[in-house]
Amino acid sequence: MSLVARLLTVLALLSTVTAGWAAADQVATVRTQTLPTLQADEPVQDLVTADGRLLAVGSSKTWLLSADGSSWGAPQPRPAGLALLGGPLPEPVETLARLQVAGDNVSYQALPPLPLRLHKAQAATLPDALYVAGLDPQEQPRLYKLPSGEARPAWQVLQAWPEGGEPLALVGQTRALFLTLAGRQLRWAADQGWSSLPAPDAPVMPGSGRPVGQAHVLYLAGQPGQPRQMLSFHTITGSWAVMRSDLPSDARQPAAWKNGLAWLQGAGERGAQSVAGAEVEAGKLMLRWLDWLVIVVYLIAMLGMGLYFYLREKRNSTSDFFVGGRSIPFWAAGVSLYAANTSSISYIAIPAKAFETNWQYLTNNLIAVLGLMFVAVWIVPLLRRLDLMSVFSYLETRFHPAIRMLSSALCILVQLGSRMSVILFLPSLAIATITGIDMVWSILLMGGFTIAYTALGGMKAVVWTDIVQLVVKMGGAVFAIGFVIWHLDGGLSQMMHEAAAAQKTKMFDFSFDLTKATVWGFIFLVLFDVVLTFPKDQVLMQRTLSTKNDRDAGRSIWAFAAIMIPGGFVFYAIGTALYVYYKANPERMNPLLSIDATFPMFIAAELPMGVTGLIIAGIFAAAMATLSSIINSVATLASVDFYEKLVKNPDPKKSVLFAELMTVAAGLIGVGFALLLSRYDIHSLFDVSIELAGLLGGGFAGAYTLGMFTRRANAPGVAIGVGSAILLTTLAWWMKLVHPYFYLAISILLCIVIGYLASLLFPPPRQSLKGLTIYRDD
C-alpha cells in the first residue's frame, strides 16, 4: 500500500469515527410563521415585494405590511393598467411599474411599454438590467432587457429560450438568469447564452422563485391538493434540495419575504385574507472542546515564538528588527515567501473561486514561476547587494528622495487598504461562520495576536512562525481534500469525472477577450507584475533582503518558485472537491451564506472534532503569516523611509522603539479597515483584492522598471509617469473597460511608457548608475 493510500485510510477511519458529531448539526432550517390576517374590501390578487417590504395587491388597492411585520397598513390606491414588479405578473402584460416604498407610502414608477404584449410573463433583475420573459400573442417565447442607469431606457430584444414553453419562474442570481419551465430548468448568461440544468422533481408554482444569499434560489412547489414544498436550487452546482415539505396545500401567489417566501392561503375572496410565510434560518455550528484546545494551543505557540525572539535578541538597530540581522537561511526565507504570499485569500477566497468557476486563475501561478526564474537570476541579487531595508531606498538612489517617499506612501496605502483589510476579514468570516462569534470580535482577536507576536519578535519571529504556519495550513487543506474523496461513493474517480464534465479544472483560455482573465492577460500581468517590477513588493523583498548574501537571496526565490505550483494545485483542488461534494449533498448547504463562506461552512458542518480546530488554526495561520509580514513591512517603510529620513541624526534605540510603535499602529489601522469592510456584502473578495491592488499599486511599480531596465529615465519623468498611471487606470476602472485582473499591468505599462517619454523632455541622469541597472557595464 502506498504512502498516500495509507494516509487516506487513516484519515477516513478518523472521519468515520467522529463525522457523526459534525453531521448531526443543522446547516439551515426553515421556520414557518403566520402573518397578520389582512382585512380587505376586495379580493387580494397577488403578493409583491418592494424595497424589502411585503404588499398585498387588489384590483384597485394595495396594502403594505408594517416594517416589523405586526400589522397591515390602510389601503392605498393602485394605478390602473400597470403590472407591478416584485411578484407574479397578471394576464396579459404590456406596461410594467416598479414599486418604491418610503416609510409607509407606496409610489409607482411606470416603465416603457414592452415591444409586444406578453402573457405567462415573469420578471427578474440583475445589477445591470430588468429582464422579462413571456409568450407573445402567437405563443412564441420572448426575452426582453431594460438596461438600468440610462437616461432614456429602451427595451432590448434578446435571444429567447430554445424549444419554447410556458415560463413558471424567472430569477436573477450569480450574474445569470434562471428560467423554470414545466419539467425544465434553463440558465442564461450574456457571454454563454442558454444552457440546460437539472429540473426539479415537483412542479414549481408560477412566480415563486426568489434569490437568496449569493448562489441559491428558493421555490414553492408541489402537486395540486398536496402539501407544498420549499425547494432550494444551487446555481453553481445545479442541484436541488428540499428545504421543507409540509407547507399548506392551499398556498398560492408566493412572493419574496425576508430570507424566504410568503404566500396567500384560502380562496382569496373579499374579507379576511390569511397570509403566511417560511423563512430560512442558519443552523448553529459551534466548535467543540477539542477544536478550541487546538486553536488555543496554536495561538499560544505563535505568541510564545514572538516572546522567545524578543527575549533572545538584543535589538540595537532597525536592521535586527526588520531584516533579522541578515542571517535568515535561504530555504527559510523561501518558505516564508510562499507563506506570506498564500494568505487567507488563498485559503478561503481561492477555493471559493474554484468552487464557483474553474482553475483559470491557476494559470497565473504557472506563468509566474517562469517570471520568478528571471527575478532570481537578475533582479533580487542586484538589490540584495545594495544592503537595503526598504526597497524604496533604491528609488531614492536611482532617482530622487521625493520618488522614494511618494512610492513608499502608495505602497503603505495598498498594503493597509487593499491587502491587510481583506486578509483580516476573510478568516473572521470563517470564524463567524463556524463559531457564531461576532465578526468584529474575530477581527480583533486575530489582529491582536498578530500585532503582539510581530511587535515582540520582529522579522525573525515573522519568518520562523511562517514556517510553522505553512505546515499547519497545508496539512489542514490536504486533509479536507482527502475527507471529500473518502466520502464520495466513487472516490477520486467520481471527483475527477464530475469536475471534468463541468469543466471545473479548465485552466487555459486563449481568447483575446479583455473582459476575461485569459492566458494572454496572465502573461501580460506576470511580465509587468513579476518580471519588471518584483521589487515593488516590500513584503516579499524584505525576506530576500534578510538573507546572508546576494547568492542566498536568489536561492530563496528558487525555493519560493518550487513550492508555488504544488501549493496552488492544493488550494484550487479544495474548491473542486467542494463542488463535487455539494453537488452530491445539496441539502448540506446554507443558502444564506456567501460564496466565500463555502469552505468555512464545510469545515464547520462536515469535519470531525479536532480536525475542525486544526483547519481553523490553518485559516488563522494563512491570515497571520501574511498579516505579520504586512505589519512588519509597513512598519519598516514608515521607520526607514519617513522617520529616519525626516529626523536628524536618529538615535538607534529610538528608531527601534519607533519601529515597534509603528508595528502596533499599522496593525490597528489594518484592523480598522477590516472592520469597515465587514459592513459590506461583497460577492468575491478575491476579485476585490485584485481590483484594489491594481488601482493603487501599479503606478509606483513602474518606477522600478524605469530604474533597472533603462539608463535614460529621470526623476521628473518618473513622477509624471506615476501620477498619470494612477489617473488613467482609475478612469479605465470607472468606465469598466477591461477585466479587473488587467488593472495592475495596465497601470504599470502606463507608468513605464509615459514615464520614459516624459524623461526625454528633461536632461538625462548625471549620477553614476553603477550597480543600479541590469546592465553589466554600468
Any residues with CB less than 8 A from the CB of 297 and at least 6 apart, and which?
Answer: none
CA distances from 571 to 160, 237, 269, 342, 354 (A): 38, 19, 58, 10, 9
Give the separation between CA 630 and CA 623, rounded to whole angstroms: 11
Is residue 585 scored above 60 in pLDDT?
yes
The string of pLDDT tens digits covering residues 202-235 is 999 998 999 999 999 999 999 888 999 999 999 9
- Res 265: pLDDT: 87
Average pLDDT rounded to a whole number, residues 380-388: 85
Helices vs. strands in the chain: H and E counts, helices first: 23, 23
Identify which of 534, 552, 535, 637 has the alpha carbon closest to the alpha carbon of residue 327.
Answer: 552
Q: Decide if 263 contacts 250 (C-beta within 8 A).
A: no
If phi over 0 gives left and psi between -120 and 50 gives alpha, with beta otherwise, what is residue 55? beta
For the CA atoms of 414, 416, 417, 422, what is the dihedral angle to 10 degrees?
Answer: 110
Give the separation between CA 589 and CA 26, rounded to whole angstroms: 10
β 96-102/83-84 pair status:
parallel
- Kindly state the cell numbers that stand for 273: 385574507
Query: Counting beta carbons within 10 angstroms of the beta carbon of residue 102, is it exposed (0 to 12), middle (13 to 18) or buried (19 or more)?
Result: exposed
Identify which of 40, 99, 70 has the alpha carbon closest to the alpha carbon of residue 256.
Answer: 99
Any residues with CB less than 8 A from the CB of 459 and at least 6 apart, and which?
Answer: 321, 322, 323, 324, 328, 542, 546, 632
Rounded (5°) CA angle 771-776-778: 55
Name residue 213's amino acid: G
Give the separation between CA 174 and CA 356, rounded to whole angstroms: 9
Longest dimension (CA), the chain: 95
Give 677's strand partners.
none
Q: Decide if 748 contacts 724 (C-beta within 8 A).
A: no
Any residues with CB less than 8 A from the CB of 511 and at least 6 apart, and which?
Answer: 518
- Res 682: pLDDT: 58
Q: 107-132 in b/e burial notation, b at 16+ Cβ within 10 A?
A: ebeebeebebebebbbbbbbeebbbb
Name residue 490's amino acid: G
The beta strands (E) that lie in 148-215 are given as 156-158, 169-173, 176-181, 184-189, 193-197, 210-212
Give the separation between CA 722 and CA 725, rounded to whole angstroms: 5
Give the separation between CA 709 and CA 694, rounded to whole angstroms: 22
Is residue 5 scored above 60 in pLDDT?
no
Query: Counting beta carbons within 10 angstroms of the beta carbon of residue 14, is it exposed (0 to 12), middle (13 to 18) or buried (19 or more)?
Result: middle
Give the separation between CA 741 and CA 533, rounded to whole angstroms: 16
Identify which of 345, 296, 302 has the alpha carbon closest to the alpha carbon of residue 677.
Answer: 345
The string of pLDDT tens digits covering residues 123-161 is 999 988 999 999 999 999 999 999 987 778 899 999 999
- Res 329: pLDDT: 93
The string of pLDDT tens digits covering residues 507-546 is 888 888 777 778 888 888 788 878 878 888 888 888 898 8
The string of pLDDT tens digits covering residues 635-683 is 888 888 888 888 877 777 787 788 888 889 999 998 988 888 777 665 5
Rounded (5°) CA angle 706-709-712: 60
Residues in the chain: 778
Q: 382-402 in b/e burial notation, b at 16+ Cβ within 10 A?
A: bbbeeebbbbbbbbbbbbbee
Q: Using 50, 70 and 90 to split pLDDT, how confident is the model at 19?
A: very low
Give the separation between CA 78 and CA 73, rounded to whole angstroms: 14
Q: What is the pTM of this model?
A: 0.81
Instruction: Kindly report the average pLDDT of the chain as a whole number.
Output: 85
Residue with C-alpha cell 526588520? 322
Is residue 97 scored above 80 in pLDDT?
yes
Q: 625-643 in b/e burial notation, b at 16+ Cβ within 10 A?
A: bbbbbbbbbbbbbbbbbbb
Q: Decide if 626 contacts 423 (C-beta within 8 A).
A: yes
Q: Using 50, 70 and 90 to split pLDDT, how confident is the model at 696?
A: low
CA distances from 438 to 290, 428, 435, 444, 452 (A): 21, 9, 9, 10, 21
CA distances from 344 to 27, 301, 537 (A): 23, 19, 18
- Pairwise pLDDT comparison (737 vs 205), residue with the higher score: 205
Q: Using 50, 70 and 90 to split pLDDT, how confident is the model at 582?
A: very high
Q: Alpha-carbon torsion 552, 555, 559, 565, what sign?
A: positive
Q: Decide if 479 contacts 660 (C-beta within 8 A).
A: no
Give the separation between CA 673 and CA 667, rounded to whole angstroms: 10
